[in-house]
Amino acid sequence: MLDPKITFYKPQGIKLNSLKIIELTHEEWEALRLKHSKGLDQIVSANEMGTSQSTLQRILSSAHKKIGQAIIEGFAIRIIKRE
């Protein structure tokens, strides 16, 4: 698993201290990277992460919900690096 190079995104022109922050886990970030950035299907993505396809789907669903909420409501997104 890789670590993200950039770990924070926020709406332009708004001070960070005035924004609500949504946290994306490293696992959520990795699932998004494999599925959407690398274009792998869910079975291959799940295998890469060492998890089941149904677990990968739950992780992706959580990540999509968080990112959607951040975009629609104007929140910042913090990606947590793996421990």
| pLDDT tens-digit series, residues 35-81 | 999 999 999 999 999 999 999 999 999 999 999 999 999 999 999 98
What strands lie across the sheet with 21-24, from one edge to the other? 8-9, 76-79, 21-24
Q: In angstroms, rounded to a whole number, what is the distance separating the alpha carbons of residues 64 and 59?
A: 9
Domain residue ranges in the chain: 8-79
Class of domain 8-79: mainly alpha
For residues 14-25, give the mean pLDDT: 95
- Please tell me what DSSP assigns to residue 50: T
For residues 12-35, give the mean pLDDT: 96
Q: Name, in order, each residue with C-beta under 8 angstroms of 80's C-beta and a sequence gap of 6 or more.
A: 7, 23, 24, 25, 26
77: helix, coil or strand? Answer: strand
